[in-house]
Amino acid sequence: MEAKAIGYVDKHGARSYTAQSVRALDYARARGDLPFYRRGRKVFFALADLDRWLSRYRVDATDHEQVQA
């Protein structure tokens, strides 16, 4: 059985990947909303965790139309 590769990025890679500020990522991490890994002083995020975190803020097209009305 082959292990599935998981991508990881540091804070600046996460900023580029999510288009969120490092400050917003730090805030989500401090609140416990965004899982992370730490090696020494360096912080890493799994891309799958970033995708899951962003999906919480997804707005469906039908919901978006109701919000604008």
Consecutive sets of 10 residues in the chain, 69 residues long: mean pLDDT of each?
Answer: 72 96 96 96 96 90 62
Write out the residue range of the structural domain in which residue 18 sits.
8-59
Domain membership flag for residue 32? yes
Residue 61: per-residue pLDDT:
76
Residue 59: per-residue pLDDT:
86
Domain membership flag for residue 66? no
The DSSP result for the chain, as a single string, is: -PPPP--EEEHHHHHHHHT--HHHHHHHHHHTSS--EEETTEEEEEHHHHHHHHHTT---HHHHHHHH-
Domain membership flag for residue 50? yes
Long-range contacts of 36-39 (CB under 8 A, 24+ apart): 37/8
The amino acid occupying position 27 is Y
How many domains are there within the chain? Answer: 1
Residue 23: per-residue pLDDT:
96
State both tokens at 52.
């899951």
